[in-house]
């Protein structure tokens, strides 16, 4: 097989990803690895000798077979260490010192060679509303004054913009301080995998040097650390070192601090000493702004000769279309983007101009999925997840407060979000009478009126906040 030299490394990496699976590929062949095809050699440069040795030991066979398939049997693989590499995502650090914007695009391409290059998220592209304003302010403060609020925790359900803000912090800090600030961005899974590999391969000094000498450490999805005791201890020491040196730590989680009990009191105490900012699903006005921005992005990509629905929307029509989509799709940012794509594709396929009527027709299926029927099983699972209870705990005969309170909230939510009658709800939650369900409704209303609290993950939480967390999991907030 023959091809241009510039394509060999990309095709080999894509073949390796197919062989070992995307998850493992993303963890090991991430932005810290440089791969170049030179002559008949594939040169793989890692940030440390330990990392290079682990790559060779774990994936050497797959890499060699992929290279042989792509470039022929006479080719070889050479492993080396990137000298003077520095975080974040150290693969393009030398380029980043000179051309931060190009380095960012290069990093993204290397993270997944089969994926087209994309533009990184920035604060300017983040739509600010009542459900995310505090988190946006926290991110902006971190960029302007790193270390003032550390750790910074951004938490909320998927699709609310946590990773967007984390990526924006990374991009902006690199843009401003590429020559003097080390910024490292990893997922919790990557941190865990690298730590365990270092632990078993006697590479802990190199691992700790990597994570404890940065100026800013960004970790996505820390709920992944739950119950991983050894990794949590290592992370706690890393946090302590960064805090002691006045450095910045930013983390994201898909749930509130009160619901991160699996991370242990030691780490959560450290998190409590910083700033926690919640993000909720966008309200109607924020959804409208998100849709309007996506419409602008789509229009900017369309050529001037594209069919109706492609480009050049008058402002008034754009606002009407954005409002219509936002009303029909009460979901997260990803669902809203998908809805816009569906509307534009329908307009092109049918060669019709965009209109509220077309929006309604195009989104009839999507809107139904977003507003999917909520079953009693869904409510039970969401409540158990938020309160950290075992599955079906609400159907038990136990009457302790840590069970009875969530059970009453589940009954209240069942009446609010399902067509089930009192008797059906009572039967589902442990064969209780309809009068028990009625009493639960009254009790929860009293809690809401008096702004009472319930026990959530070992601490007091307002009933309204607990219900918001459950409804967020149900995608109903």
Number of CB atoms found within 10 A of residue 381's CB: 18
Domain 376-473 part of CATH 3.40.50.620 = no
Rg, C-alpha atoms of the chain: 25
Work out the average pLDDT over 92-117. 35
Residue 331's pLDDT is 76
Q: Where are the beta strands (DSSP E) in 173-215?
A: 183-187
* CB of 28 closer than 8 Å to CB of 16: no
Pick the CATH number of 5-86 from 3.90.1150.10, 3.90.550.10, 3.30.300.180, 1.20.1110.10: 3.30.300.180
Is the pLDDT score of 107 beyond 90? no
Beta bridge partners of 459: 456
DSSP 8-state assignment for residue 261: G
Work out the average pLDDT over 157-167. 90
Q: Write down the domain spans for the chain.
A: 5-86, 123-278, 284-370, 376-473
> CA separation (Å) from 53 to 14, 75, 216?
21, 20, 27
Peptide bond into 224 cis (omega under 30): no
Q: Which CATH superfamily is domain 123-278 in?
A: P-loop containing nucleotide triphosphate hydrolases (3.40.50.300)
Which residue matches tokens 């001037």?
Answer: 304
Number of alpha helices (DSSP H) and beta strands (DSSP E) in the chain: 21, 10
Q: What is the CA angle 398-401-403, rounded to 5?
A: 50
* pLDDT tens-digit series, residues 339-360: 888 888 888 888 888 888 888 8
Is the pLDDT score of 25 beyond 90? no
Burial 109-147 (b: 16+ CB within 10 A, else e): bbbbbeeeeeebbebeebbebebbeebbebbbebbeebe
Pick the CATH number of 284-370 from 1.10.3470, 2.60.40, 1.10.8, 1.10.1070: 1.10.8
How sure is the predictor about 198, in pLDDT bands with cuts at 50, 70 and 90?
confident
How far separated are the first and last CA of the chain, in Å rounded? 54
* pLDDT tens-digit series, residues 272-283: 889 999 888 888
* pLDDT tens-digit series, residues 232-251: 999 999 999 999 999 999 99
* pLDDT tens-digit series, residues 437-470: 999 999 999 998 888 888 876 678 888 888 888 8
Work out the average pLDDT over 83-103. 35
Q: Please tell me whether the overall predicted TM-score, pTM, comes out greater than 0.75 for this model.
A: no
């Amino acid at each position: 097989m023959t091809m241009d030299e510039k394509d060999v490394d990309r095709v080999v990496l894509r073949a390796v990803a197919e062989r070992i699976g995307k998850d493992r590929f993303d963890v090991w062949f991430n932005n810290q690895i440089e791969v170049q095809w030179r002559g008949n050699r594939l040169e793989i440069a890692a940030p440390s000798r330990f990392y290079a040795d682990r790559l060779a030991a774990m994936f050497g066979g797959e890499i060699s077979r992929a290279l042989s398939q792509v470039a022929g049997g006479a080719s070889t693989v050479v492993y080396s260490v990137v000298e003077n590499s520095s975080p974040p995502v150290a693969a393009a650090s030398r380029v980043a010192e000179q051309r931060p914007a190009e380095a960012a695009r290069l990093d993204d391409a290397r993270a997944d060679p089969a994926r087209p290059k994309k533009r990184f998220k920035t604060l300017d592209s983040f739509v600010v509303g009542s459900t995310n304003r505090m988190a946006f302010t926290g991110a902006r403060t971190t960029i302007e004054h790193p270390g003032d609020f550390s750790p910074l925790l951004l938490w909320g359900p998927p699709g609310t913009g946590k990773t967007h803000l984390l990526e924006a912090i990374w991009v902006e800090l690199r843009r401003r301080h590429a020559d003097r600030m080390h910024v490292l961005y990893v997922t919790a899974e990557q941190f865990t995998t690298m730590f365990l590999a270092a632990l078993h391969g006697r590479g802990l000094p190199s691992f700790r040097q990597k994570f404890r000498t940065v100026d800013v450490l960004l970790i996505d999805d820390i709920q992944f650390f739950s119950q991983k005791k050894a990794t949590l201890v290592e992370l706690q020491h890393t946090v302590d070192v960064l805090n002691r040196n006045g450095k910045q730590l930013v983390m994201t989680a898909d749930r509130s601090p009160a619901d991160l009990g699996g991370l242990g009191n030691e780490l959560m105490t450290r998190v409590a000493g910083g700033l926690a900012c919640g993000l909720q699903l966008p309200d109607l006005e924020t959804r409208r702004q998100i849709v309007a921005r996506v419409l602008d992005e789509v229009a900017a990509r369309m050529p001037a000769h594209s069919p109706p629905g492609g480009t050049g929307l008058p402002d008034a029509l754009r606002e009407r279309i954005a409002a219509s989509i936002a009303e029909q799709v009460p979901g997260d940012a990803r669902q809203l983007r998908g809805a816009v794509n569906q509307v534009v594709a329908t307009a092109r396929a049918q060669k019709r101009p965009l209109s509220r009527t077309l929006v309604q027709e195009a989104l009839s299926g999507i809107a139904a999925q977003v507003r999917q029927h909520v079953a009693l099983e869904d409510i039970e699972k969401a409540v158990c997840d938020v309160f950290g209870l075992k599955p079906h705990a609400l159907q038990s005969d136990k009457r302790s407060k840590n069970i009875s309170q969530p059970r009453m909230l589940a009954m209240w939510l069942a009446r609010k979000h399902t067509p089930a009658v009192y008797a059906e709800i009572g039967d589902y939650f442990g064969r209780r009478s309809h009068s028990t369900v009625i009493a639960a409704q009254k009790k929860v209303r009293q809690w809401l009126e008096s702004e009472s609290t319930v026990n959530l993950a070992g601490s007091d939480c307002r009933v309204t906040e607990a219900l918001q967390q459950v409804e967020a999991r149900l995608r109903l907030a």
